[in-house]
Protein backbone atom coordinates (compact mmCIF):
# COMPACT_ATOMS: atom_id res chain seq x y z
CA UNK A 1 0.00 0.00 0.00
CA UNK A 2 1.24 3.54 -0.72
CA UNK A 3 0.86 5.98 2.18
CA UNK A 4 1.72 9.62 2.72
CA UNK A 5 2.69 11.75 5.71
CA UNK A 6 4.73 14.88 6.45
CA UNK A 7 7.61 13.18 8.27
CA UNK A 8 8.75 9.56 8.38
CA UNK A 9 10.89 8.76 11.42
CA UNK A 10 12.92 5.58 10.94
CA UNK A 11 13.63 3.87 14.26
CA UNK A 12 11.52 3.78 17.43
CA UNK A 13 14.28 3.80 20.06
CA UNK A 14 14.94 6.79 22.32
CA UNK A 15 16.05 9.04 19.42
CA UNK A 16 12.97 8.29 17.30
CA UNK A 17 10.68 8.88 20.29
CA UNK A 18 12.37 12.20 21.16
CA UNK A 19 11.83 13.27 17.55
CA UNK A 20 8.19 12.17 17.77
CA UNK A 21 7.69 14.22 20.94
CA UNK A 22 8.85 17.42 19.23
CA UNK A 23 7.05 16.72 15.92
CA UNK A 24 3.83 16.25 17.89
CA UNK A 25 4.38 19.54 19.76
CA UNK A 26 4.78 21.33 16.44
CA UNK A 27 1.55 19.79 15.14
CA UNK A 28 3.15 17.85 12.29
CA UNK A 29 1.74 14.67 10.81
CA UNK A 30 4.26 11.84 11.13
CA UNK A 31 4.83 8.13 11.56
CA UNK A 32 7.59 6.24 13.40
CA UNK A 33 8.62 2.96 11.76
CA UNK A 34 10.47 0.53 14.01
CA UNK A 35 11.92 -2.87 13.15
CA UNK A 36 11.49 -4.28 16.68
CA UNK A 37 8.36 -6.14 17.77
CA UNK A 38 8.23 -4.33 21.14
CA UNK A 39 9.21 -0.85 22.46
CA UNK A 40 12.62 -0.05 23.95
CA UNK A 41 15.06 0.00 21.01
CA UNK A 42 18.51 -1.38 21.77
CA UNK A 43 17.90 -1.38 25.53
CA UNK A 44 15.89 -4.59 25.05
CA UNK A 45 19.06 -6.34 23.90
CA UNK A 46 21.33 -5.32 26.80
CA UNK A 47 23.18 -7.86 28.92
CA UNK A 48 21.57 -8.79 32.23
CA UNK A 49 23.68 -6.64 34.57
CA UNK A 50 23.81 -3.45 32.46
CA UNK A 51 22.90 -0.33 34.42
CA UNK A 52 22.86 3.27 33.27
CA UNK A 53 25.91 5.29 34.23
CA UNK A 54 23.69 8.14 35.50
CA UNK A 55 20.80 8.48 37.94
CA UNK A 56 17.28 8.35 36.45
CA UNK A 57 16.76 12.11 36.51
CA UNK A 58 19.83 12.53 34.28
CA UNK A 59 18.58 9.95 31.79
CA UNK A 60 15.31 11.51 30.70
CA UNK A 61 13.81 12.29 27.33
CA UNK A 62 12.07 15.63 26.74
CA UNK A 63 8.85 16.17 28.64
CA UNK A 64 8.97 13.34 31.13
CA UNK A 65 11.50 12.60 33.88
CA UNK A 66 12.53 8.99 34.14
CA UNK A 67 11.12 7.70 37.44
CA UNK A 68 13.63 6.35 39.96
CA UNK A 69 13.99 2.59 40.26
CA UNK A 70 13.52 1.15 43.73
CA UNK A 71 16.83 0.08 45.26
CA UNK A 72 18.99 1.42 42.39
CA UNK A 73 20.72 4.80 42.08
CA UNK A 74 21.37 4.17 38.39
CA UNK A 75 18.51 2.17 36.85
CA UNK A 76 19.01 -1.05 34.90
CA UNK A 77 18.22 -1.60 31.22
CA UNK A 78 14.83 -3.20 31.97
CA UNK A 79 13.79 0.01 33.70
CA UNK A 80 14.81 2.02 30.61
CA UNK A 81 12.70 -0.28 28.40
CA UNK A 82 9.68 0.27 30.68
CA UNK A 83 10.27 4.03 30.62
CA UNK A 84 10.45 4.12 26.81
CA UNK A 85 7.33 1.93 26.47
CA UNK A 86 5.46 4.24 28.83
CA UNK A 87 6.81 7.34 27.05
CA UNK A 88 5.47 6.40 23.64
CA UNK A 89 2.10 5.44 25.15
CA UNK A 90 1.82 8.61 27.24
CA UNK A 91 2.40 10.88 24.23
CA UNK A 92 0.37 8.68 21.87
CA UNK A 93 3.29 8.44 19.46
CA UNK A 94 2.29 6.70 16.20
CA UNK A 95 4.83 3.88 16.17
CA UNK A 96 4.30 1.09 13.65
CA UNK A 97 6.17 -2.15 14.37
CA UNK A 98 7.57 -4.41 13.32
CA UNK A 99 8.29 -2.46 10.14
CA UNK A 100 11.77 -2.58 8.59
CA UNK A 101 12.78 0.21 6.23
CA UNK A 102 14.67 -1.27 3.30
CA UNK A 103 15.53 1.91 1.38
CA UNK A 104 15.05 5.68 1.20
CA UNK A 105 14.89 7.07 -2.37
CA UNK A 106 14.49 10.46 -4.03
CA UNK A 107 11.14 10.65 -5.74
CA UNK A 108 10.56 14.12 -7.22
CA UNK A 109 9.71 16.61 -4.46
CA UNK A 110 9.37 13.81 -1.93
CA UNK A 111 11.41 11.06 -0.35
CA UNK A 112 10.09 7.53 -0.86
CA UNK A 113 10.56 5.18 2.07
CA UNK A 114 10.37 1.52 1.09
CA UNK A 115 9.63 -0.95 3.89
CA UNK A 116 8.91 -4.66 4.21
CA UNK A 117 5.20 -3.73 4.26
CA UNK A 118 3.99 -0.33 2.98
CA UNK A 119 5.68 2.36 0.89
CA UNK A 120 5.67 5.87 2.37
CA UNK A 121 6.09 9.24 0.67
CA UNK A 122 7.06 12.30 2.72
CA UNK A 123 8.79 15.64 2.25
CA UNK A 124 11.04 14.92 5.26
CA UNK A 125 12.67 11.88 6.86
CA UNK A 126 14.45 11.51 10.19
CA UNK A 127 16.76 8.52 10.42
CA UNK A 128 17.19 7.36 14.04
CA UNK A 129 18.28 3.75 13.70
CA UNK A 130 21.08 3.69 16.28
CA UNK A 131 24.32 1.72 16.16
CA UNK A 132 23.62 -1.49 18.09
CA UNK A 133 22.52 -3.26 14.92
CA UNK A 134 25.89 -2.91 13.23
CA UNK A 135 28.53 -4.42 15.52
CA UNK A 136 32.13 -3.78 14.51
CA UNK A 137 34.78 -6.51 14.47
CA UNK A 138 38.43 -5.57 13.83
CA UNK A 139 40.30 -7.40 11.09
CA UNK A 140 42.74 -9.56 13.06
CA UNK A 141 44.49 -12.41 11.25
CA UNK A 142 43.40 -15.95 12.09
CA UNK A 143 39.66 -15.55 12.75
CA UNK A 144 38.76 -18.79 10.90
CA UNK A 145 41.61 -20.71 12.58
CA UNK A 146 40.24 -20.20 16.09
CA UNK A 147 38.30 -23.28 17.19
CA UNK A 148 36.48 -21.72 20.15
CA UNK A 149 33.43 -19.47 20.34
CA UNK A 150 33.43 -15.84 19.26
CA UNK A 151 30.77 -13.30 20.05
CA UNK A 152 30.29 -9.54 20.07
CA UNK A 153 28.97 -7.34 22.89
CA UNK A 154 25.52 -7.52 21.28
CA UNK A 155 25.34 -11.29 21.93
CA UNK A 156 26.65 -11.24 25.51
CA UNK A 157 24.05 -11.87 28.23
CA UNK A 158 25.45 -13.19 31.52
CA UNK A 159 28.59 -14.62 33.19
CA UNK A 160 26.60 -17.80 33.94
CA UNK A 161 26.97 -18.73 30.25
CA UNK A 162 30.77 -18.91 30.63
CA UNK A 163 31.29 -20.29 34.16
CA UNK A 164 34.76 -21.81 34.54
CA UNK A 165 35.73 -21.10 30.92
CA UNK A 166 38.85 -19.38 29.61
CA UNK A 167 37.43 -16.12 28.29
CA UNK A 168 39.25 -13.34 26.44
CA UNK A 169 37.46 -9.99 26.47
CA UNK A 170 38.76 -7.59 23.81
CA UNK A 171 38.11 -3.86 24.15
CA UNK A 172 39.07 -1.01 26.45
CA UNK A 173 35.87 1.02 26.22
CA UNK A 174 32.95 1.03 28.62
CA UNK A 175 31.39 -2.16 27.24
CA UNK A 176 34.71 -4.03 27.43
CA UNK A 177 35.39 -2.88 31.00
CA UNK A 178 31.86 -3.68 32.19
CA UNK A 179 31.76 -7.12 30.58
CA UNK A 180 35.26 -7.90 31.88
CA UNK A 181 34.11 -6.88 35.37
CA UNK A 182 31.02 -9.06 34.97
CA UNK A 183 33.17 -12.09 34.07
CA UNK A 184 36.02 -11.44 36.52
CA UNK A 185 34.73 -13.67 39.31
CA UNK A 186 33.62 -16.95 37.76
CA UNK A 187 35.67 -17.34 34.57
CA UNK A 188 39.38 -17.50 33.77
CA UNK A 189 39.47 -14.02 32.31
CA UNK A 190 42.05 -12.32 30.11
CA UNK A 191 41.23 -8.70 29.30
CA UNK A 192 42.92 -7.29 26.22
CA UNK A 193 42.93 -3.63 25.20
CA UNK A 194 44.58 -1.74 22.36
CA UNK A 195 45.81 1.00 24.68
CA UNK A 196 46.27 0.80 28.47
CA UNK A 197 42.77 1.32 29.95
CA UNK A 198 42.15 4.74 31.43
CA UNK A 199 39.59 4.81 34.24
CA UNK A 200 37.89 8.15 34.79
CA UNK A 201 37.90 9.49 38.34
CA UNK A 202 35.39 7.64 40.50
CA UNK A 203 33.20 10.72 40.91
CA UNK A 204 32.72 11.12 37.14
CA UNK A 205 29.43 9.57 36.07
CA UNK A 206 26.91 10.33 33.33
CA UNK A 207 26.06 13.67 34.98
CA UNK A 208 29.62 14.93 34.57
CA UNK A 209 29.74 13.59 31.02
CA UNK A 210 26.56 15.48 30.24
CA UNK A 211 28.01 18.67 31.72
CA UNK A 212 31.12 18.29 29.56
CA UNK A 213 28.99 17.73 26.44
CA UNK A 214 26.89 20.77 27.32
CA UNK A 215 30.00 22.93 27.77
CA UNK A 216 31.17 21.81 24.35
CA UNK A 217 27.86 22.71 22.79
CA UNK A 218 28.02 26.17 24.35
CA UNK A 219 31.58 26.66 23.11
CA UNK A 220 30.59 25.67 19.58
CA UNK A 221 27.44 27.84 19.66
CA UNK A 222 29.54 30.84 20.74
CA UNK A 223 32.21 30.19 18.11
CA UNK A 224 34.88 29.27 20.67
CA UNK A 225 37.46 26.47 20.28
CA UNK A 226 36.04 22.93 20.14
CA UNK A 227 36.69 21.31 23.54
CA UNK A 228 36.00 17.86 21.95
CA UNK A 229 33.38 17.22 24.62
CA UNK A 230 33.09 13.76 26.12
CA UNK A 231 35.69 12.46 23.66
CA UNK A 232 38.28 14.65 25.41
CA UNK A 233 37.79 12.62 28.61
CA UNK A 234 38.29 9.43 26.60
CA UNK A 235 38.05 6.97 29.47
CA UNK A 236 36.08 4.29 31.24
CA UNK A 237 33.31 5.37 33.60
CA UNK A 238 34.07 3.67 36.92
CA UNK A 239 30.53 2.37 37.53
CA UNK A 240 30.30 0.41 40.83
CA UNK A 241 30.94 -3.13 39.41
CA UNK A 242 33.94 -1.86 37.38
CA UNK A 243 35.30 -0.02 40.42
CA UNK A 244 34.90 -3.10 42.59
CA UNK A 245 36.64 -5.46 40.13
CA UNK A 246 39.40 -2.90 39.54
CA UNK A 247 39.94 -2.43 43.29
CA UNK A 248 40.19 -6.23 43.73
CA UNK A 249 42.97 -6.20 41.11
CA UNK A 250 40.85 -8.18 38.65
CA UNK A 251 40.95 -5.67 35.79
CA UNK A 252 44.56 -5.79 34.64
CA UNK A 253 44.64 -5.49 30.86
CA UNK A 254 47.11 -7.07 28.45
CA UNK A 255 48.00 -5.33 25.18
CA UNK A 256 46.31 -6.36 21.95
CA UNK A 257 47.38 -9.74 20.55
CA UNK A 258 48.51 -10.00 16.94
CA UNK A 259 46.55 -13.04 15.73
CA UNK A 260 44.16 -15.84 16.56
CA UNK A 261 45.40 -19.43 16.50
CA UNK A 262 43.43 -22.65 16.79
CA UNK A 263 43.48 -22.80 20.60
CA UNK A 264 43.55 -19.12 21.51
CA UNK A 265 45.50 -15.95 20.70
CA UNK A 266 49.14 -15.09 20.13
CA UNK A 267 51.12 -11.89 20.77
CA UNK A 268 53.86 -10.65 18.45
CA UNK A 269 56.55 -11.69 20.98
CA UNK A 270 55.41 -15.31 20.62
CA UNK A 271 53.53 -15.60 23.94
CA UNK A 272 50.02 -16.96 23.75
CA UNK A 273 46.86 -17.50 25.80
CA UNK A 274 44.46 -20.41 25.50
CA UNK A 275 40.79 -19.53 25.17
CA UNK A 276 37.41 -21.23 24.98
CA UNK A 277 35.71 -18.05 23.89
CA UNK A 278 36.58 -14.53 22.71
CA UNK A 279 34.15 -11.69 23.37
CA UNK A 280 34.73 -8.74 21.04
CA UNK A 281 33.68 -5.51 22.78
CA UNK A 282 34.97 -3.51 19.86
CA UNK A 283 32.18 -1.07 19.24
CA UNK A 284 29.56 -0.24 16.70
CA UNK A 285 29.01 1.66 13.49
CA UNK A 286 25.91 3.69 12.55
CA UNK A 287 23.09 1.59 11.07
CA UNK A 288 22.68 3.40 7.75
CA UNK A 289 22.25 0.72 5.03
CA UNK A 290 18.68 1.93 4.36
CA UNK A 291 20.12 5.28 3.21
CA UNK A 292 22.40 3.71 0.57
CA UNK A 293 20.10 4.61 -2.38
CA UNK A 294 20.66 8.31 -1.57
CA UNK A 295 24.42 7.90 -2.13
CA UNK A 296 25.38 10.31 0.61
CA UNK A 297 28.48 8.62 1.94
CA UNK A 298 31.72 10.51 1.46
CA UNK A 299 35.11 8.98 0.81
CA UNK A 300 35.55 7.78 4.39
CA UNK A 301 32.05 6.31 4.55
CA UNK A 302 30.73 9.28 6.50
CA UNK A 303 27.53 11.24 5.73
CA UNK A 304 28.18 14.97 5.98
CA UNK A 305 25.77 16.75 8.32
CA UNK A 306 25.15 20.30 9.44
CA UNK A 307 23.59 19.77 12.88
CA UNK A 308 21.28 16.86 12.13
CA UNK A 309 20.60 17.81 8.51
CA UNK A 310 22.32 15.89 5.70
CA UNK A 311 24.34 18.43 3.73
CA UNK A 312 23.66 16.80 0.36
CA UNK A 313 20.00 15.87 1.05
CA UNK A 314 18.41 18.58 3.22
CA UNK A 315 15.14 16.63 3.45
CA UNK A 316 16.96 14.05 5.55
CA UNK A 317 17.97 14.40 9.20
CA UNK A 318 20.21 11.98 11.12
CA UNK A 319 19.57 11.73 14.82
CA UNK A 320 21.18 9.99 17.80
CA UNK A 321 24.24 8.44 16.16
CA UNK A 322 26.87 10.29 18.19
CA UNK A 323 28.47 13.68 18.55
CA UNK A 324 28.49 14.19 14.76
CA UNK A 325 24.67 14.41 14.92
CA UNK A 326 24.62 16.66 18.02
CA UNK A 327 26.72 16.72 21.22
CA UNK A 328 25.82 13.71 23.41
CA UNK A 329 23.01 12.85 20.98
CA UNK A 330 23.60 9.13 21.55
CA UNK A 331 22.47 9.45 25.16
CA UNK A 332 19.01 9.60 26.69
CA UNK A 333 19.42 13.07 28.08
CA UNK A 334 21.41 14.44 25.16
CA UNK A 335 19.10 13.51 22.28
CA UNK A 336 16.32 15.93 23.25
CA UNK A 337 17.97 19.07 21.94
CA UNK A 338 19.01 17.82 18.47
CA UNK A 339 15.56 16.19 18.17
CA UNK A 340 13.98 19.56 18.87
CA UNK A 341 16.24 21.34 16.39
CA UNK A 342 15.51 18.76 13.67
CA UNK A 343 11.75 19.01 14.22
CA UNK A 344 11.89 22.83 14.13
CA UNK A 345 13.91 22.89 10.93
CA UNK A 346 11.49 20.49 9.27
CA UNK A 347 8.47 22.52 10.44
CA UNK A 348 10.04 25.68 9.01
CA UNK A 349 10.66 24.09 5.63
CA UNK A 350 7.18 22.57 5.46
CA UNK A 351 5.52 25.86 6.31
P1 LIG B 1 18.34 2.30 19.26
O2 LIG B 1 17.99 2.17 20.70
O3 LIG B 1 19.23 1.27 18.66
O4 LIG B 1 16.97 2.37 18.45
C5 LIG B 1 16.95 2.33 17.05
C6 LIG B 1 15.71 1.58 16.61
O7 LIG B 1 15.69 1.61 15.19
C8 LIG B 1 15.71 0.12 17.02
O9 LIG B 1 14.47 -0.22 17.57
C10 LIG B 1 15.98 -0.61 15.71
O11 LIG B 1 15.39 -1.87 15.63
C12 LIG B 1 15.35 0.33 14.71
N13 LIG B 1 15.87 0.17 13.35
C14 LIG B 1 17.16 -0.02 12.95
N15 LIG B 1 17.20 -0.13 11.61
C16 LIG B 1 15.92 0.00 11.16
C17 LIG B 1 15.32 -0.02 9.88
N18 LIG B 1 16.03 -0.19 8.76
N19 LIG B 1 13.98 0.12 9.77
C20 LIG B 1 13.23 0.31 10.90
N21 LIG B 1 13.75 0.34 12.15
C22 LIG B 1 15.08 0.19 12.27
N23 LIG B 1 23.16 6.21 27.10
C24 LIG B 1 22.80 6.86 28.22
O25 LIG B 1 22.15 7.90 28.14
N26 LIG B 1 23.15 6.38 29.43
C27 LIG B 1 23.83 5.21 29.58
O28 LIG B 1 24.12 4.80 30.70
C29 LIG B 1 24.19 4.47 28.41
N30 LIG B 1 24.82 3.27 28.49
C31 LIG B 1 25.10 2.58 27.35
C32 LIG B 1 25.71 1.33 27.44
C33 LIG B 1 25.99 0.60 26.31
C34 LIG B 1 26.65 -0.74 26.40
C35 LIG B 1 25.65 1.11 25.04
C36 LIG B 1 25.96 0.32 23.79
C37 LIG B 1 25.04 2.35 24.94
C38 LIG B 1 24.77 3.10 26.09
N39 LIG B 1 24.16 4.36 26.01
C40 LIG B 1 23.83 5.03 27.15
C41 LIG B 1 23.95 4.99 24.69
C42 LIG B 1 22.54 5.07 24.11
O43 LIG B 1 21.63 5.52 25.06
C44 LIG B 1 22.06 3.80 23.43
O45 LIG B 1 22.99 3.36 22.48
C46 LIG B 1 20.67 4.00 22.76
O47 LIG B 1 20.11 2.74 22.61
C48 LIG B 1 20.66 4.70 21.40
O49 LIG B 1 19.28 4.98 21.06
P50 LIG B 1 18.79 5.15 19.58
O51 LIG B 1 17.33 5.45 19.63
O52 LIG B 1 19.67 6.06 18.86
O53 LIG B 1 19.03 3.70 18.93
Q: What is the pLDDT of residues 187-204, one digit of tens each?
A: 999 999 999 999 888 877
Measured between alpha carbons, how far apart are the two ends of the chain, in Å? 27
- In this chain, the answer to whether the domains covering 2-134+284-350 and 143-199+235-280 adopt an identical fold is yes
Q: For ligand 1, pick from 31, 181, 330 the residue to mutate: most ligand atoms within 8 Å of CB.
A: 330
- Going from the Cα of 30 to the center of ligand 1, the distance in angstroms, rounded, reads 21
pLDDT band at 235 (very low <50, low <70, confident <90, very high): confident
Q: From CA 319, how far away is CA 304, in angstroms rounded? A: 13
Name which residue sits closest to atom 53 of ligand 1, judged by CA. Answer: 130
Q: From CA 65, how far away is CA 87, in angstroms rounded? A: 10
Return the CATH class of domain 2-134+284-350: alpha beta
Q: What is the pLDDT of residues 40-66, one digit of tens each?
A: 999 999 999 999 988 898 899 999 999
Q: For ligand 1, pick from 283, 323, 325, 331 the residue to mutate: most ligand atoms within 8 Å of CB.
A: 331
Q: From CA 17, how far away is CA 128, in angstroms rounded? A: 9
pLDDT band at 234 (very low <50, low <70, confident <90, very high): low
Any atom of ligand 1 within 6 Å of the Cβ of 14: yes
Name the CATH topology of 143-199+235-280: FAD/NAD(P)-binding domain (3.50.50)
**What's the pTM?**
0.94
| Annotated domain spans of the chain | 2-134+284-350, 143-199+235-280
For residues 70-95, average pLDDT: 96
CB crowding 199-236: b at 16 or more within 10 Å, else e: ebeeebbbbbbbebbbebbebeeeeeeebebbeebebb
Amino acid sequence: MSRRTQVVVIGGGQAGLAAGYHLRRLGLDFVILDAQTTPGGAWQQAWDSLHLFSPAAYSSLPGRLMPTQAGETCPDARHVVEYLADYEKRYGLPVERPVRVTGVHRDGQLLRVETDSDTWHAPAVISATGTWWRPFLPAIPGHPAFGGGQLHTVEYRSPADFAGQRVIVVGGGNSGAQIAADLAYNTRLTWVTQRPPRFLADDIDGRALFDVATARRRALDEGRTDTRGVASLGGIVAVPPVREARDHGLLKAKPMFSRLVSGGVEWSDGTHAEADVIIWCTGFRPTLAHLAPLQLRGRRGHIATEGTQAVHEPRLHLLGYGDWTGPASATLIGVGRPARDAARQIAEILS
